[in-house]
Amino acid sequence: MGNLSEIVKKCADNYQKDPTKMLDVIRDVQAELGQVADDAIAEIAKQMNVSSIDVEGVVTFYHFFSKEPVGKYSVYLNNSAVAVMKGCYDIAKEFEKEAGCKFGEVSSDGKIGLHYTADIGMNDQEPSAIINDVIFTNLTSDKVKAIVADMKSGKKIQDTVKEFGDGNNQNALIKAMVKNNIQKTGAVLLAPFEPGTALKKAVSMTPEAVIEEMKISSLRGRGGAGFPTGMKWDYTRQSAGDKKYIVCNGDEGEPGTFKDRVLFTERAEMLFEGMAIGGYAIGADEGLLYLRGEYMYLKQYLENVLETMRKAGTLGKNAGGKSGFNFDIKIQMGAGAYICGEESALIESAEGKRGEPRNRPPFPAQRGFMGKPTSVNNVESFCSAARIMLEGGAWFAKMGTAQSKGTKLLSVSGDCKKPGIYEVEFGTTVQTLLEECDGRTAQAVQVGGPSGVCIDKSKYGNRICFDDLATGGSVIVIGPDRDILEVVHNFMEFFEEESCGWCTPCRAGNQLLLHKLEKVMHGHGTESDLQEMEKWCVTVKSMSRCGLGQTSPNPIQSTLKNFRGLYEAKIQKGKDFVTEFDMAAAVKESCAAAGRKPDLGEH
């Protein structure tokens, strides 16, 4: 016990026992102890002077925290839809065989823990896994054998990575096997960027003029909702507050997106300058980057970029050379929770709590991080803002469609020959994209991730933009041999698990939708099941509190609309009712105990 309390005390002291640093404290405790069990929870509560139930609430909320041992080496294998397409379950078997334990378990010597996790932002290089913060991509049986052998011999996990990806993935502070897979560059985001220039331009203008320029550009938020960035900054600027914050949403949790990861790797200066520009515009002196836990491997590198920018005078006192503009940026790590991409949940999480969205009003622009006016923007939005400062709002607004200006980064994955990042002008059709990524045979395309829509061939002429097919960037190509219902099922399992649990329709409704889908997939459904499912989708969407619940039925709803035949092929036509009850299975155990053969006669 003495040892435990010393370890916890040290971790808490490292963050001055600041309760808003709860996630960091828990992460460090888990790194030391391999788990955060009840005794550690009680000790953290004591050290941080909060109730133990609040600590337990946080520990059990986040995917990467665990009350049970996670293993000295904890393998988190992605099993989201595209990973499944690329064979993650074969890889799982290989891990189980080599490690000698099942997924959800830890090997008997406590060395290796095998866990599944949702999308880790590597959809263009699946199967992939995270082991103690180190990323492993394009996994094969041979690679798994080598990795497990290294883990068994006690090697440092980083030393297991021998080949590195392209660009900054080779940087001494990253050294990851991750590839950028930049397939198409555009004028805004992936064109060359000279550090220091964008902020310099911005601070030569008044904050009002910066906001005006943003409004002229018509830039809409790239995180999914598409709210005009200039307007958001204006509201936040107008909000009364002695302190304001700029927050960058780096949670990138929507399965199938990985474009922010590439921006972090290749355009970090552009991002941080974009944040400083936002800070200048709204009158903030502090920026916060909330980085998803999965991207821990980028943290050291990003911290170093910040340090270099401070030394160059771009950040810190008189940032960008503007006297009196003191602006700096901190990084807050997440711990695995899709809902933390929702801006108010992100703020809760950044304050060290469970990532539960807030009720609105008030909006973050009125009362956000630490109760102060806050502008939360996506990584790509900030990078676009930096370019807009350099090239002007009018230049930007020349690209795109009537309602969607500029370019968009698309993360393309699934059944195509050239998965990766495409910077396209808004208005590009799905068909054009399918040709560029060589996914012409697609029977369906999932645009906007699980919360988006699944479209069939008849809609490949539709355009990617807010006025037609809106997307935060995720495009998943589904080839001709795939079972679309399996994909739908994977997405529904994802939402069911990722619901924060706050409100009834999302918490219970998604479980019920999942059950119903399974009933139909197992051949026990009838036409009325399809109708009920349709109705329940509407209820969950209408009654849920936040964007997660309001979109979670989309996988079912959009496929019921666009691929109804798939459902109809599974149901028992012309029947009003089919029992789900399986008599043989129900009596199997008792018959075995009694040594009898089941007499199923008539029932």
Partner 1 sequence: MSEIKFTIDGKECTARAGQTIVEAAKANRIYIPVLCHFEGLKPAGTCRICTVRVGGRFMAACTTPVAEGMNVENNTPAIEDMRKEIIEMLFVEGNHMCPTCEKSGNCELQALGYRYKMMVPRFPYLWPQRSVIADAPKIYLDRNRCVQCLRCVRDVITSDGKHVFGVTMRGGKTLISIDKELAAKLTEEEAVKAMNQCPVGCILRKEIGFKIPIGQRKYDTKPIGSEIEG
> Which spans of this chain sit near ligand SF4 (rule: CB under 6 A)?
339, 357, 499-503, 506-507, 544-546, 548-549
What residues between 363 and 382 interact with partner 1 by CB under 8 A?
A: none
Smallest distance from partner 1 to CB 545, Å: 6
Residue with tokens 């021998």: 162
- Candidates 385, 168, 137, 176; CA nearest to 268 is 168
Smallest distance from ligand FMN to CB 226, Å: 7
Q: In the complex with partner 1, which residue's Cβ is closer, 37 or 216?
A: 37
Selected binder of partner 1 within 51, 206, 441, 531 (CB under 8 A): 51
Question: How do the residues of the chain divide into helix, strand and coil, expressed in percent and rounded to 5?
Answer: 45, 15, 40
- Angle, helices 527-543 vs 504-521, to 10°: value is 160
Q: In the complex with ligand FMN, which residue's Cβ is closer, 249 or 526?
A: 249
What residues between 461 and 500 interact with partner 1 by CB under 8 A?
A: 496-500
Please name the helix (run of DSSP H) or strand (run of DSSP E) that holds residue 83, with its range, or none.
helix 81-85
Instruction: Give which of ligand FMN, ligand SF4, partner 1, none residue 468 binds (C-beta under 5 to 8 Å, depending on kind).
Output: none
Instruction: Give which of ligand FMN, ligand SF4, partner 1, none residue 542 binds (C-beta under 5 to 8 Å, depending on kind).
Output: partner 1
Smallest distance from ligand FMN to CB 311, Å: 28
Q: x/- site string to ligand FMN, residues 506 to 545, per CB under 6 A?
A: ----------------------------------------
What residues between 56 and 85 interact with partner 1 by CB under 8 A?
A: 56-57, 60-61
Does residue 554 touch ligand FMN according to CB under 6 A?
no
Interface stretch with partner 1, choices 246-254, 263-271, 450-458, 532-540 (CB under 8 A)? 532-540
Q: In the complex with ligand FMN, which residue's Cβ is closer, 173 or 225?
A: 225
N residues, the chain? 603
Residue with tokens 């925290």: 65
- Candidates 64, 55, 388; CA nearest to 215 is 388
Q: How far apart are CA 66 and CA 41, in angstroms?
A: 11
SS3 216: helix
Q: x/- site string to ligand FMN, residues 324 to 343, per CB under 6 A?
A: ---------------x-xxx
> For 324, left (φ over 0), alpha (ψ -120 to 50), or beta?
left
CB contact at 8 A, 189 and 407: yes
Instruction: Give which of partner 1, ligand SF4, ligand FMN, none residue 349 binds (C-beta under 5 to 8 Å, depending on kind).
Output: none
> Would you tell me how many other CB atoms lie within 10 Å of the CB of residue 106?
23
Q: How far apart are CA 68 and CA 217, in angstroms?
A: 50
Instruction: Give which of partner 1, ligand FMN, ligand SF4, none residue 532 binds (C-beta under 5 to 8 Å, depending on kind).
Output: partner 1
Q: What is the dihedral of CA 506, 510, 513, 515, to 10 degrees?
A: -140
Smallest distance from partner 1 to CB 372, Å: 19
Strands, sheet with 474-478, edge to edge from the N-terminal-most edge strand: 182-184, 420-425, 407-414, 474-478, 444-447, 453-456
Instruction: Give which of partner 1, ligand SF4, ligand FMN, none residue 320 binds (C-beta under 5 to 8 Å, depending on kind).
Output: none
How many residues interact with ligand FMN (rule CB under 6 A)?
22
**Residue type for 521, please?**
M
Strand partners, 291: 250, 333
What residues between 341 and 370 interact with ligand FMN by CB under 6 A?
A: 341-343
What residues between 375 and 414 interact with ligand FMN by CB under 6 A?
A: 376-378, 381
Instruction: Give which of partner 1, ligand FMN, ligand SF4, none residue 393 binds (C-beta under 5 to 8 Å, depending on kind).
Output: none
Burial of 336-352, coded b for 16+ CB within 10 Å and e otherwise, reads bbbbbbbbbbbbbbbbb
